[in-house]
Amino acid sequence: MNSYDVAVIGSGPGGYVAAIRCAQLGMKTAIIEKYSTLGGTCLNVGCIPSKALLDSSHHYEDAIKHFEEHGIEIPGEVKVNLEQMISRKQGVVDQTTKGIEFLMSKNKIDVYQGIGSFKDKTKIDITKEDGSIETIEAVKSIIATGSKPSTLPFINIDKERVITSTEALKLKEIPKHLVIIGGGVIGLELGQVYRRLGAEVSVVEYMDRIIPTMDGGLSKELTRTLKKSGFKFYTSHKVKEVTRTGDEVIVKADDKKGNEVEFKGDYCLVCVGRRPYTDGLKPENAGVKLNERGQIEVNDHLQTSSENIYAIGDVIKGAMLAHKAEEEGTLVAEFMAGQKPHIDYNLIPGVVYTWPEVAAVGKTEEQLKEAGVNYKTGQFPMRALGRARASMDIDGFVKILADAETDEVLGVHMIGARVADLIAEAVTAMEFRASAEDISRMSHAHPTYAEAVKEAALAATDDRALHV
């Protein structure tokens, strides 16, 4: 039986980063992955493929809507070749997952393909595709088994017409009318892909606004810009029935007043969140407890109820984000090695990769109000930037929330071109507990979208933005 210092179960961004960090710290490490490719949800059916399709569809939209104004004429009709678009996406995925194989071998991490199940606290059975079982021994283990799409109890996901994000990333045709249940991150990102390609897109959302967990200002501006592009939103609608007949899908919902509303489409994308995944893991054999939501219970060091077994990423509490899983992978490896790592969960940024992009870190206005914090606001519109006018990306703004007495930045909320990248400045500032004035006194290159951050900081400091 092969023996290890650490065995990691699951090779998503949580698992593979944990394995690399363990190996860097001198531990003999194994990683177990059920699928034939490494990288988990994020690389195979999540972050990377969705961004590849967002990029391709963005190019198409630019070609049909914006090229002419830029003085670029394309003789003949610009057409979508969906098969090629999906195949390019797959190429990006393949390249990226192969990259993880390389990193495993570079760090001398043994990779096992198969379903990992605890036999006891230190032994893991690995069931391979041919049914054979290999058992390995590990002093410590890290559970990084991630999540799967969740659904509503009355919906039958047939994976053909009633689909999850996984199927939406490899459709064979552009839907005529895509009905999306859930106006969260997946609904808006994948909705935008197919809206750009010509589908009618209706988003049915239970809450009274889309991206309901983000700052209300971001939700309002994103609603406005996506509506301009043809999205239809039905907020405060409670879906109660989804039926498929042949190629047609009918979604029935009750609106705020209790009236029944019917949506007829050819595809229905169900994206109402994801559930922690522990099928086949047999955590009970190792004394690992789950909570009532099916998440693996952990303490502040991400230790489970079984001392030498840790859990990270989507399978535990907290935001289901790749970079959160990565930070936790690093934390666990360093804690095992006797270090004292720390994660400030308040400073894990959240991003929606629509265009305009949406990005945020820290507290929302709603949270600050609820907590009774005395705060001030500085907001700067993208349209006031020369850089934004040059690229015709004038939608959006940067909003900085700072403590009214101390000027410490408490939250930064952005919507606009490239804000997914700009949010890193806000995270850095907040990690160093910067004040709004600190940001406002830093030189920002001109012309850049980042100037909006400085201007919002000036607005928050003393209501003295320069360019509005």
Q: Is 146 in the site for ligand FAD (CB under 6 A)?
A: yes
CA distance 333 to 310: 10
446 assigned to active site = yes
Picked from ligand FAD, ligand NAD, none, the partner binding residue 13 (CB below 5 to 8 A depending on kind) is: ligand FAD
Residue 262, classified by CB atoms within 10 Å of its CB into exposed (0-12), middle (13-18) or buried (19+), is: exposed
- Restricted to residues 425-464, the positions that interact with ligand FAD (CB under 6 A) are none
Q: Is 33 in the site for ligand FAD (CB under 6 A)?
A: yes
Q: Is 206 in the site for ligand NAD (CB under 6 A)?
A: yes
- Beta carbon of residue 130, minimum distance to ligand NAD (angstroms, whole number): 33
| 279's tokens | 């099928």
Pick from 352, 385, 398, 401 the residue near ligand NAD by CB under 6 A.
352
* Site track 225-254 with ligand NAD (rule: CB under 6 A), x = hit: --------------x---------------
| Span interacting with ligand NAD, options 15-23, 172-180, 182-190, 360-368, rule CB under 6 A | 182-190
| 120's tokens | 């006891």
Long-range contacts of 291-296 (CB under 8 A, 24+ apart): 291/317, 296/143
Closest CA to 319 of 283, 357, 352, 278: 352
Q: Is 335 in the site for ligand NAD (CB under 6 A)?
A: no
Give Cβ neighbours of residue 166 (< 8 Å, ≥ 6 apart).
Answer: 45, 149, 159
CA distance 138 to 6: 5
Nearer to ligand FAD, 320 or 430 (CB): 320
Contact yes or no for 364/447 (Cβ under 8 A): no
Q: Is 325 in the site for ligand FAD (CB under 6 A)?
A: yes
| Span interacting with ligand NAD, options 31-39, 300-308, 317-325, 364-372, rule CB under 6 A | 317-325
Q: Is the peptide bond before 447 cis (omega within 30 degrees of 0)?
A: yes
Q: Is 276 in the site for ligand NAD (CB under 6 A)?
A: no
- Restricted to residues 337-356, the positions that interact with ligand FAD (CB under 6 A) are 353
Q: Is 9 in the site for ligand FAD (CB under 6 A)?
A: yes
Contact yes or no for 194/272 (Cβ under 8 A): no
- Beta carbon of residue 301, minimum distance to ligand FAD (angstroms, whole number): 17
CA distance 325 to 18: 9
Picked from ligand NAD, ligand FAD, none, the partner binding residue 271 (CB below 5 to 8 A depending on kind) is: ligand NAD
Residue 372 burial (CB count, 10 A): 6
Nearer to ligand NAD, 13 or 184 (CB): 184
DSSP 55-112: HHHHHHHIIIIITTTTT---SS-----HHHHHHHHHHHHHHHHHHHHHHHHHTT-EEE
> Alpha helix locations (H) across 133-207?
165-168, 185-196
Closest CA to 240 of 257, 261, 256: 261
Q: Is 187 in the site for ligand FAD (CB under 6 A)?
A: no
Q: In what helix (H) or strand (E) does residue 410 lie, and over which residues does it extend?
A: strand 409-416
Q: Is 18 in the site for ligand FAD (CB under 6 A)?
A: no
Nearer to ligand FAD, 221 or 328 (CB): 328
CA distance 243 to 454: 51
Picked from ligand FAD, ligand NAD, none, the partner binding residue 15 (CB below 5 to 8 A depending on kind) is: ligand FAD
How many residues of this chain interact with ligand NAD, rule: CB under 6 A? 25
Q: Is 207 in the site for ligand NAD (CB under 6 A)?
A: yes
Picked from ligand NAD, ligand FAD, none, the partner binding residue 10 (CB below 5 to 8 A depending on kind) is: ligand FAD
| Span interacting with ligand FAD, options 153-161, 251-259, 273-281, 365-373, rule CB under 6 A | 273-281
Parallel/antiparallel/unpaired status of strands 357-362 and 409-416: antiparallel
CA distance 63 to 61: 5
Pick from 80, 103, 152, 343 the residue near ligand NAD by CB under 6 A.
152
Q: Is 321 in the site for ligand NAD (CB under 6 A)?
A: yes
Pick from 126, 185, 193, 409 the residue near ligand NAD by CB under 6 A.
185
Q: Is 144 in the site for ligand FAD (CB under 6 A)?
A: yes
Pick from 7, 8, 14, 288 the residue near ligand FAD by CB under 6 A.
14
Parallel/antiparallel/unpaired status of strands 133-143 and 123-127: antiparallel
Residue 330, classified by CB atoms within 10 Å of its CB into exposed (0-12), middle (13-18) or buried (19+), is: buried
The footprint of ligand FAD (CB under 6 A) covers 9-15, 32-35, 40-42, 46-47, 50, 115-116, 144-147, 165, 186, 277, 280-281, 313-314, 320-323, 325, 353
The footprint of ligand NAD (CB under 6 A) covers 152, 181-187, 189, 204-207, 212, 239, 271-274, 319-321, 351-353
Q: Which residues are part of the catalytic machinery? A: 446
